Amino acid sequence: MKEGDLKTPEGIFKVKDLYPHPQWSKFVWLDYPNQQSWHKHLQAKKQGIIPLSASVGSAIGIHGVNQGNDYLIEERNNWTWGCISLKNKDVDEIYSVIEIGTVVKIIS
């Protein structure tokens, strides 16, 4: 809902880009913030849930982990800044079947 809350935004997004990432193996970049995200963010400000000065954030996606660090997926919770992180083999599988424009639904 706001930048820095360490939460993965919920909603319906589209894949904006896919590319190899030097730190996270591969990165599937989502179109966050989109119109739905902005609406939720502004409503939260109006309702006093988040500060008026809060930023909506950006650069949310699905990515892997540093080579050899798959344990992060099994041993840690909420260690990203809002992204979805998977084992590299799982990111490889997703990466091979999605394309720009693919719809991604994130729910809790």
**pLDDT 10s digits, 58-104:** 999 999 999 888 888 888 877 898 999 999 999 999 999 999 999 99
> Which member of 21, 39, 41, 63 is catalytic?
63
b/e burial code for range 87-101 (CB count within 10 A of at least 16 → b):
bbeebeebbeeeeee
Specify if 5 maps to a domain. no
Spell out the residues 6+ positions from residue 14 whose beta carbon is closer than 8 angstroms to its own. 30, 31, 34, 101, 102, 103, 104
pTM of the shown model = 0.90
Q: For strand 84-85 and strand 103-106, is the pairing parallel, antiparallel, or unpaired?
A: unpaired
Residue 25 counted as domain residue? yes
SS3 37: helix
* Number of domains composing the chain: 1
Is 95 contained in some domain?
yes
What are the tens digits of pLDDT across the range 20-62?
Answer: 999 989 999 999 999 999 999 999 999 999 999 999 999 999 9
- Provide the residue range defining the domain that includes 72: 11-106
Could you confirm whether 63 is annotated as catalytic? yes
Does a structural domain hold residue 3? no
Residue 6 located in a structural domain: no
Contact predicate 64/26, CB 8 Å: yes
Q: Among the options 21, 39, 41, 83, which is catalytic?
A: 83
Q: Is residue 4 part of a domain?
A: no
